Amino acid sequence: MADSSTQSIIIGASPDRVAAVICDFPSYPQWADAVRQAEVVEEYEDGYASQVRFVLDAGVMADEYVLEYAYAEDLSRIEWHLVAPSKMQKVQRGSYDLVGNADGGTTVTYTLEVELAVGMLGMFRRKAEKMIMDAALKQLKRRVEATGSAQ
């Protein structure tokens, strides 16, 4: 059974700028440490990615999988799920929720649910999830703030 974890971070940029970085999948290898490749394999009519193939190498965890994305009309929520089980994962569901702050920044809440195909003790899985989420949010913040400021 998959457990869900949630973390938030404040990024010094508008929700539109944060969403633009999240949706720029081909650029992920430039800023997301574990992502070796990110390739848009299908798009919606509006040009947003509907399916993206990822190749990850995070040392002990290497995997290749396809995620299907859905977007709120105003991009305040970007969610995904694993299209088919991979070598390492049975299930992956996640979302970014973006809320604009009065100071022009954005509170980003990242929710992730993963069920691994390999056995892992609960305390180690939770520690791994926390490390993945911490890294993902910190790397997103660094990328967004390096490529544009609050608008």
Let me know: does 76 contact 99? Beta carbons within 8 Å.
Answer: yes
| CATH classification code of 3-147 | 3.30.530.20
Q: What's the pLDDT tens digit per position in 123-149?
A: 555 666 666 777 889 999 999 999 864
Helix (H) or strand (E) holding 122: helix 122-147
**In the predicted structure, residue 12 carries a pLDDT above the cut 90:** yes
Return d(Cα 140, Cα 21) in angstroms, integer: 8
- pLDDT class for 61, splitting at 50, 70, 90? confident
Q: pLDDT at position 138, please?
A: 94
Hey, where are the domains in the chain? 3-147
Tokens 């660094």 correspond to 142
